[in-house]
Amino acid sequence: MEGKQLQSLKNHAETLTRFIIRLTKFYEGLSSDIDNELQTLRGHLAGSPNYTLATVSINKLGTKLQNAHASTSEVVNKSIDDLETDVKAFQQKVAQSSGVQQNAAQLLVKLNQPAQDLFAVLALYRQATRFFAVNAQAASPKPANPQSEPEKNARHYHAILDELNLLIKNYARKRPDDEQLLTIQAKLAQGMQEEELLQSCVVIIRMIVQEAMSEASLSGKVIQSLHKSLGQVSQNVSQTIDLSKASFATRKASTAQMQAQLETMEDAVNHSESLESLKRQAQQYVKNVSSTLSERAQAEQDEQHELLKLLASMQGQLTRLQSQTQSYRKKLAEQIVSSQTDSLTRLPNRQAYNERIERAFALAENGNVKLALAVADIDLFKSINDRFGHAAGDKTLQVVSRHLRKNLSKDDFIARWGGEEFVMLLLGVDSSGLQKKLEALRASLADIPFKFKQEKVIISASFGGTCLKAGDTPDEVFNRADTNLYKAKRSGRNCVITDQETTL
C-alpha cells in the first residue's frame, strides 16, 4: 500500500478515535457499569491505540448501551407519567386562578406528547418546577368552600377537550382525508387556548349538523315514499267504496225493475180476457225478467272482477309499504346503535352510559337492587403509543375492552369513557363483592398474551370503585369512583381501590 494511503488511513483512524473519546464523555453518568467500561475504552484509544482491545470493549458497550436504552425509555416514560400525575394532583388543589388552571392544562398537553430524549424530560421537569414554585401559594390548604368559578371553568375546559378528542377520532376514521380534521388533530397535540378550542368545537358541530341534515334528507325521502304508498292505498279504498255504492245502486234499480215487471204480470193475469193473450204476455214478462237477471249477473261479475283487481293492487301496495317500513325501522335502529357505540372498541360510548345510568339508578331505587360503579384506566398507556406507535395503542384498547366485556356478567354494563378509561355498572354487587370482582379483572389482565414487534408486553390497569348510597346522584357516584381510581394510580398502579379499601 502506498505511503499516502497509509497516512490517510492513519489520519482517519485518529479522527475516529478522537470522536469516540468525545462520544464516551457524553454517556458519562448513565450508569456506573457503563462509566467503567467507557473509561476502559478511552484507555485503549489513548496514546498508542490498541484497536483489538478497543473492539472488545466496544462490543461490551454495545450490549450494555442497548439494554440501558430500554431501561432509559422506561424511566423516561415513568418519569413523565409521574410528573403528569403530580400536575393533575396540583391542579385539583388549585381553584382560585383560571390562569393557573390554563398553565396546568398546557403543561399536561406537553406531557402527553412523545418525549424525544432525556434533555426534553429535564426541560419538562424544569418547567414543572417553575410552575409549582410560582403557584405554590395557590395550592396551600384553604377552608372548604363551594367550587369556585375558575375551577368550574377549568373542569369544563378539560371535559370539552376530552369530548373533542373523542369526536375527532370518530370523524377522522370516517373522513381520513379531511384537512380540517387533520389540522384540529395537530393543534390538539400541540395544545389549544380556549378560543381555539371553541373554534374547533364549532367545526365539529357543523360536521354533526351536516351529517344530521343528510340523515334527515334520507328520512324525508323514506317518509315521502311511505306517504305516497299510503295515498295510493287510500285512493284504492275510495275506488272500492265508490264501486260498491255504484253496484248497490245498480242492484237496487234491477230489483225495482223486476218488481215492476212482476206487478205488471200479476195485473195481466187478473185482467186477461183469453188464455192465448195471457200466454203471450207471460212469455214476454219472463223474457224481460230473464234479461234483467242476465244483466244483473253480468254486472255482478264485472263488479267482482274490478273489486279483485283493486284488492290485488292494495295487497301489493301494502306489501311494499310493509317492506319500506321495516327497512326504515331497521335503519333507525342501526343509527341508534351507531350513535351509542365507540367506533374503535365497539363498546357502548359515553352517550350510551348516560342513558344506562339513569335506568340503573331507577332500578336500584325502585327495585331495591344493589348497584356499584367502577372506573378502569390502562397503566402507562402513553408509553405503549410512544414505543410501538398509535396502531399498537388502538390494538391494546381493543384487546382490553374485549377482555373486560368477556369477564363481566350479562347484567353488567361497560362503556368506553374516553381515552384509555372504561366505566362499568355492576348490578347486585356490594362493597365486598365489588373488591373481589375488580381484583379478579385486574389480575386476569396480566395473563393476556400480548406482543408488539416480537416483544412481550404486560398490560395492567388501575381500578377505582364505589357502591351506590342513599341520596346519591349519578355524578356523585362517578366522581367517588374516579377519586378511588386516582388513589390507585398514586399507589403504584395495577391495583384496586374501593370504598372498602378506603375505609380500611
Claim to verify: residue 364 and residue 469 sit in the same structural domain: yes
Burial zone of 278 (CB within 10 Å; 0-12 exposed, 13-18 middle, 19+ buried): middle
Q: Is residue 209 part of a domain?
A: no
Instruction: Quote the percentage of the chain above a pLDDT of 70.
Output: 57
Please state, in angstroms and rounded to a whole number, the distance separating the CA atoms of residues 17 and 24. Answer: 11
Those residues with Cβ within 8 angstroms of residue 193's Cβ, 6 or more apart along the chain or in another chain: 102
Claim to verify: residue 374 and residue 325 sit in the same structural domain: no
Radius of gyration for the alpha carbons in the chain, expressed in angstroms and rounded:
42
Banded model confidence at residue 442, pLDDT cuts 50, 70, 90? very high
Provide the pLDDT for residue 303: 74
Claim to verify: residue 334 and residue 247 sit in the same structural domain: yes
Q: Is residue 31 part of a domain?
A: yes
Claim to verify: residue 332 and residue 399 sit in the same structural domain: no
Which has the higher per-residue pLDDT, 68 or 423?
Answer: 423
Banded model confidence at residue 433, pLDDT cuts 50, 70, 90? very high
Q: Residue 52 CA to chain centroid, in angstroms?
A: 60
Instruction: Quote the percentage of the chain above a pLDDT of 90.
Output: 22
Banded model confidence at residue 370, pLDDT cuts 50, 70, 90? very high
Which has the higher per-residue pLDDT, 304 or 381?
Answer: 381
Q: Is residue 190 part of a domain?
A: no
Q: Which residues of 18-30 are buried (b: 16+ CB within 10 A; e: fewer)?
A: eebeeebeebeeb
Q: Which of the listed residues 338, 362, 382 is the one where a domain comes to its end? A: 338
Claim to verify: residue 469 and residue 361 sit in the same structural domain: yes
Claim to verify: residue 359 and residue 424 sit in the same structural domain: yes
Provide the pLDDT for residue 463: 97
Which region, left, alpha or beta, applies to residue 380 given φ > 0 means left and ψ of -120 to 50 means alpha? left
Claim to verify: residue 496 and residue 383 sit in the same structural domain: yes
* pLDDT tens-digit readout, 75-105: 666 666 666 676 666 666 654 555 666 666 6
Q: Give the range of the structural domain holding residue 272, as residue numbers without chain letter.
A: 229-338
Q: Which of the listed residues 280, 309, 338 is the one where a domain comes to its end? A: 338
Indicate the number of domains in the chain. Answer: 3
Q: Is residue 154 part of a domain?
A: no
Write down the H helix ranges in 46-193: 51-93, 98-111, 118-134, 149-174, 179-190
Q: Is residue 180 part of a domain?
A: no
Cell numbers linked to 203? 367545526
Sheet of 421-427, strand order: 413-418, 421-427, 371-378, 461-467, 496-497
Q: Is residue 118 part of a domain?
A: yes
Please state, in angstroms and rounded to a whole number, the distance separating the CA atoms of residues 236 and 199. Answer: 55
Q: Is residue 317 part of a domain?
A: yes
Provide the pLDDT for residue 147: 47
What value does the mean pLDDT of the chain take? 75
Farthest-apart Cα atoms in the chain, separation: 165
409 pLDDT above the threshold of 60: yes
Which has the higher per-residue pLDDT, 497 or 343?
Answer: 497
Provide the pLDDT for residue 113: 59
116 pLDDT above the threshold of 60: no
Claim to verify: residue 368 and residue 323 sit in the same structural domain: no
Those residues with Cβ within 8 angstroms of residue 431's Cβ, 6 or more apart along the chain or in another chain: 372, 467, 498, 499, 500
199 pLDDT above the threshold of 80: no
117 pLDDT above the threshold of 60: no
Claim to verify: residue 480 and residue 361 sit in the same structural domain: yes
Cell numbers linked to 355? 342513558
- What average pLDDT does this structure show over 298-304? 77
Question: Ranked by mean pLDDT, which of 68-82, 263-277, 318-332, 345-359 comes out on top?
Answer: 345-359
Q: Which of the listed residues 129, 144, 174 is the one where a domain comes to its end? A: 129
* pLDDT tens-digit readout, 135-173: 665 555 544 444 455 555 565 566 666 666 666 766 666
Provide the pLDDT for residue 102: 65
Q: Which residues of 153-180 are buried (b: 16+ CB within 10 A; e: fewer)?
A: ebeebbebbeebbbbbbbbbeeeeeeee
Comparing CA positions, the residue from 474, 473, 381 lying closest to residue 421 is 381
384: domain CATH number? 3.30.70.270
Provide the pLDDT for residue 503: 47
Which has the higher per-residue pLDDT, 177 or 265?
Answer: 177
Which has the higher per-residue pLDDT, 451 or 145?
Answer: 451
Banded model confidence at residue 395, pLDDT cuts 50, 70, 90? very high
Provide the pLDDT for residue 366: 84
Q: Is residue 181 part of a domain?
A: no
**AA identity, residue 486:** Y
Comparing CA positions, the residue from 415, 413, 404, 423 lying closest to residue 364 is 413
Provide the pLDDT for residue 146: 45
Claim to verify: residue 456 and residue 368 sit in the same structural domain: yes
- What average pLDDT does this structure show over 231-258? 68
Claim to verify: residue 11 and residue 66 sit in the same structural domain: yes
Cell numbers linked to 166? 373523542
Claim to verify: residue 261 and residue 321 sit in the same structural domain: yes
